[in-house]
Structure 1
């Protein structure tokens, strides 16, 4: 008989903790169900002498019984790709690590041996050092999720939370495969977005270069010509000439001030208050805010559906999935949903307080899926449909952005040209 520590919900909604003895996890779950308890956490209490062996068994991804999940980190995550990771372990190395580790665990390779294999296979020095650090911590008895949590610059919080869910529930190989799919899908979407913005970005760079050339080299020649004739310049020409003088006289100072303001803005943006303010502002932007909310909903539904399909309890799945939203305003909005689900409400009804993130039609589909027992399948289907629609909207937005940028570029250059040409027609009056 083994001793299990549990945390569960009573029928009245109160959270209780305790211990029970059972022959396995399945029997422990049956005992909890017979007492009317809804499991939140179920962990086998291990003795110090076998702590290392138990950590290896959990990390193997082949535990038996109904899956449960240990408590996920309480701090909200900021998305899949943490800031600063590229200078240490590149995203490609992390994706390869995740996918290969999932394959090795599915083949029955022990976790410690799989980590040694991955350490030898990688060609990136920083990744090799990091995988060795993870291996040493796991061999010393630490769980894989706890070892990864020590390197937040490499493993995002959502990543660690999903690993913890799979490690505790005995389906680590499945969760790692899903994480690799998430990474590949997000990488593909970012690549599409960057490719779509490449042409407008080149146009904007060329326009700024032409504008700088006109203001620094071309306009001063016209200014000297007009001054020689004592001509009275139109107000548009005077504004252009004054702008050129400011750039030539204080260009370096303007650049330094601009860089300083940029650094200050970045520091403010990293702070919790600044981040919340900025993310709230972005959500209010007419087109961009809707795209971000739709993207967050797709990520949330896909991750929650994947976790539910793997056997993670709904409450724990919500705690992990809400960290995938990225936007802190949306994370806070979904946080209230978890409390309502704990009280016994359905998921669809609990999400009605997030109209910005979940439209009414999506809530109805979720509610119907709950009643039919196909919530995991419906959430993944909603994610697929939403991502396809989001891809079409992004293509349309980028297609509209290109002619708009061309229009503004032509307007800037045309304004300068007109402002400098108008006085030429009046020079003949001063020549006479």
Structure 2
């Protein structure tokens, strides 16, 4: 994505400037508005030179990128330092010296220099959009405005821990099915290219009419052997075209919507995403963020374009004066039980507590789905393996059996 240099003014009228990476200038303006900065000028620019330009290009190439674990650890350390009364500049200096990641150490150094130049912490973090998400920046901004920065850092730590744990569990649960499907695909390729051509010569010696399934397998094998370069190029072009399509707003929306409909895996993705939404909304509400702004910020944490659109639809409804319950029902992504909890929370004025309960409920459901994922997928894999074995048996071994019987009768 391109980089944009911006100038703007915060709520106190102070001039703010920096560089952000975004799809277009409108996305940059949205990020600035969400963090309390009114943009004055936004222009396309090249990426700012990173700290440590004296390093060789080889060292920069091998340098590890900043991970979510680095940001999570930083959040916890900032909470501890601020709660202990350590001045933020001295605390950042200590964190820079003790940073395990050199890349994140450079980020902390830039934060110190920005604070020393008179910028606020959220404005300094905004200079590193590849490290700090818009949600993270918005929460830090809220902490600065409310004077509860240390509390915000603790909640951000919990949020990042939950988000990382959820993603890792989903990856772990889907690793085995992915491996089995990949092994089946490789087996099909090997059978088509090496096994079936070996049997073609045997069948040809008998000059007998082959069953339909055998003729289909031989035709498929001949096509694969003859045109495999074309097929490889076609697959590569299809993958490239798919990636280009997914990068478009419409393509990403349709793909994320389709992912939610995938058998077994779709409901896990939906529940994990909704748990992240409920947790983020609870965090924003407890930190004093107005509901409309909270929904705007939370929409950025939902890692699904389709669900992001549904959250933005909720925000638009609340902005028009509708209740959270009505907008949540119109979004058509919450279960009736969750809608009842939202209704109780809105009526009692404790929507943040109820959203936290909703997040825990979704987490428990995701935990159960992940524990039973193998049991749900195994029958599907067995059916696929059975069909593969049946096709091979009918196409290869049945003709051999028939030819063998014919030879014995002669």
Counterparts of 1:295 and 1:198 in 2: how far apart (Å)?
17
1:430 is displaced (CA, Å) by: 6.6
Give the 3 Å change call, closer, same or farther, for CA 231–141 of structure 1 in structure 2: farther
Give the aligned partner of residue 157 of structure 2: 180
Are 2:286 and 1:309 aligned?
A: yes
Go from structure 1 to structure 2 and tell me whether the alpha carbon gap of 1:176 and 1:141 turns closer, same or farther (over 3 Å shift).
same
Q: C-alpha deviations, 1:145-186, integer Å up to 9, x for none?
A: 223223222222222222222222222222222222222222
In structure 2, relative to structure 1, the CA distance for the partners of 1:144 and 1:369 (3 Å cut) is same
> Which residue, out of 12, 23, 44, partners 1:45?
12
Aligned residue for 1:226?
203
Structure-1 residue corresponding to 2:101:
124
Contact 1:304–1:318 (CA under 8 A) maintained in structure 2: yes
Q: TM-score if structure 2 supplies the norm length?
A: 0.78
Task: Sort the Cα spacing of 1:87 and 1:157 in 2 relative to 1 into closer, same or farther, 3 A.
Answer: farther
Matches within 5 A, 1:73-112: 88-112=65-89
Q: Is the aligned partner of 1:238 residue 2:203?
A: no
2:377 is the alignment partner of 1:401 = yes
Deviates more, 1:227-236 or 1:133-142: 133-142
Q: Aligned equivalents of 2:102 and 2:227: distance in 1?
A: 45
- Quote the Cα distance in structure 2 between the aligned partners of 1:334 and 1:205: 35
Q: How does 1:342-421 map to 2 (within 5 A)?
A: 342-354=319-331, 356-421=332-397
- Over 3 Å counting, the alpha-carbon distance change for 1:426 and 1:151 in structure 2 is same
Report the alpha carbon displacement of residue 286 of structure 1 after superposing the two structures with TM.
5.8
Residue pair 1:169, 1:312 contacting (<8 A) in 2 also: no
CA distance change for structure 1 residues 197 and 281 in 2, over 3 Å: closer, same or farther? Answer: closer
Residues 345 and 254 of structure 1, relative CA distance in 2, 3 Å threshold: closer
Q: Which runs of 5+ in 2 are unaligned?
A: 1-9, 17-33, 40-62
State how 1:281-360 maps to structure 2 within 5 Å.
281-285=258-262, 287-354=264-331, 356-360=332-336
Distance in 2 between residues matched to 1:147 and 1:240, nearest whole Å = 63
Deviates more, 1:255-264 or 1:321-330: 321-330
After TM superposition, the score normalised by the length of structure 1 is 0.75
- 3-state SS in 2 of match to 1:324: coil
Separation of aligned partners in 1, 2:217 and 2:88: 68
2:178 to 201, 208, 218: 201
Aligned to 1:11: none
| 1:27 equivalent in structure 2 | none
| Map of 1:71 onto structure 2 | 36
Distance 2:197 2:14 in 1: 83
Offset of 1:191 from its aligned partner? 2.2
CA distance in 1, matches of 2:38, 2:259: 26
What is the Cα deviation at residue 237 of structure 1?
Answer: 0.9
- Assess if the C-alpha contact under 8 Å between 1:215 and 1:243 holds in 2: yes
Report the alpha carbon displacement of residue 214 of structure 1 after superposing the two structures with TM.
2.2
In the TM superposition, residue 130 of structure 1 has moved relative to its aligned partner by 2.3
Q: Tell me: CA distance 1:253–1:339, structure 2 relative to 1, closer, same or farther (3 Å).
A: closer
CA contact (8 A) 1:72 1:316 kept: no
* 1:259-278 aligned within 5 A: 259-278=236-255
Q: Quick check: 1:217 aligned with 2:194?
A: yes
Q: Deviations over 1:325-353 (max 9, x none)?
A: 22223222232433443455432234332
Q: Distance in 2 between matches of 1:268 and 1:202?
A: 26
Q: Deviations over 1:206-260 (max 9, x none)?
A: 3333333322222222111111222222111111122222222222332222122
Question: In structure 2, which of residues 130, 145, 150 is the aligned counterpart of residue 168 of structure 1?
Answer: 145
CA contact (8 A) 1:294 1:357 kept: no
SS of aligned partner of 1:325: coil
Decide whether the 8 Å contact of 2:166 with 2:272 is kept in 1.
no
Q: Distance in 1 between matches of 2:270 and 2:131?
A: 26
* Contact residue 71 and residue 316 of structure 1 kept, 8 A: no
Call closer, same or farther: CA 1:232–1:135 in 2, change over 3 Å: farther
2:126 maps to 149
Q: Report which structure shows greater RCO (CA 8 Å, sep ≥6).
A: 1
State the partner residue of 1:38. Answer: none
2:295 touches 2:315 (CA, 8 Å); kept in 1? yes
CA-CA distance at 1:366 after TM superposition: 1.9
Taking the aligned partners of 2:118 and 2:230, their CA distance within structure 1 comes to 57
